[in-house]
A and B are shown apart, each in its own frame.
Chain A
Amino acid sequence: MKNPIENLNKVFDSRIRLGVMSILVVNEEVSFNDLKKMMEVTDGNLASHLIHLEENGYIKVHKGFIGRKTNTTYSITKAGEKAFKEHIEALENMIRGVR
């Protein structure tokens, strides 16, 4: 029998990365500040997790301005959606396997 755990995506081991993906999968574009408020994490902590997700090609970064202030927003990529969906399916299979 195939081990269900091998389908779990390592990138989503972190609750913060998992949380960011959950938010981006239901919202088209979310700013850094909104992500920070919803996740209740510090700037530095969130930034490093976002870089990790970006390097894996799961999220896209858009740098813009509101007036003179920088406004960085994030959105999910096709690859990110696919990876997130597969991860949820793997979680589902694990629960099915346990019961």
Chain B
Amino acid sequence: MDTQHPPQGTIQDIRSIKRMMERSSRFISLSGWSGVAAGICALGGAYAAWSRLQEFRNNSGYRIEEGGEITTHVYNHLQLLRTDLVWIAAITFVAALISAFLFTWIRSRKNGTPIWDRTVQRLTWNTVLPMAVGGLFLLRSMELDYYNLVAPGCLVFYGLALVNASKYTLGEIRYLGYGQLILGIINLWQLSYGLYFWAAGFGILHIIYGIVMWYRHERASGTN
């Protein structure tokens, strides 16, 4: 190699240093399409939950927001509603996870970065930890009948997980985290609108984030 570095070489050296530092410490193949796909799953799930709640209203004649006496008739419908909502949540979560994984997997293959190296392990651990703790917290809330806390709880813990994850992947995910946190905190004082906040955070914010990320990182490189 030349010892008389021309400026061009210097700039290339700096670019290669930056690239190697990033590539070795952050997972850079997170795809914007993953965000869009997860957002669509969330909107689908929120719609299913909303329809199921309407059905419950019609069948039981009970208004959750207004409260009132819980008769045996209402109680039975409430039990069915709970089971169905848990199923809807579980299916939505799995569908979002699979579709998000799929697009990121495709992109990481195109980029030639391994899908399970140390950067991914660190990213996974730092995302899963706050989410798992949040999951337990919400499970206990449901046991204690604090169903109102589920939507804001999802938003807050997921937001914290994303802010934490931003150190280990493309940094912009931090703003998605801030958005979830803001929605979650407002939701804490507007408890009866949980489903709408949830749909806005997990559905709309994901889709916006996904499109922005695709535009910034993937459009130019042709890995869509």
Contact = CB atoms under 8 A, between A and B. Distances in A.
Which range holds the interface residue count of chain B? 20 to 34
Contact of A94 (B2, B10, B21, B112): B10
Interface string A59-99: 00000000000000000000000000000100100110010
A98 B7 contact: yes
Contacts of A18: 13, 16-17, 20
Contacts of B18: 22
A91 B118 contact: no
B4 A5 contact: yes
Contact of B10 (A19, A23, A40, A95): A95
Interface in A18-33: 18-19, 22-23, 25-27, 30
Interface string B122-134: 0000000000000
Contact of B7 (A12, A19, A27, A94): A94
Nearest to B2: A13
Do most interface residues of chain A lie in helix, strand or loop, or is the interface mixed? helix
B23 interface: yes
A10 interface: yes
A8 interface: yes
Contact of B21 (A8, A23, A34): A23
Interface string B16-34: 1110110111000000000
B1 A26 contact: no
A2 interface: no
Contacts of B21: 22-23, 25-26
Given A10-B3, A19-B20, A91 B14 contact: yes
A38 interface: yes
A34 B122 CA distance: 15
Contacts of B10: 91, 94-95, 98
Contacts of B61: none
B7 A95 contact: yes
Given A5-B3, A95-B10, A38 B17 contact: no
A14 interface: yes
B11 interface: yes
B3 A23 contact: no
13 contacts: A5-B3, A10-B3, A13-B2, A15-B13, A18-B13, A19-B17, A23-B23, A26-B24, A34-B24, A34-B117, A91-B14, A94-B5, A95-B10
Interface of B: 1-5, 7, 10-11, 13-14, 16-18, 20-21, 23-25, 112, 114, 117-118
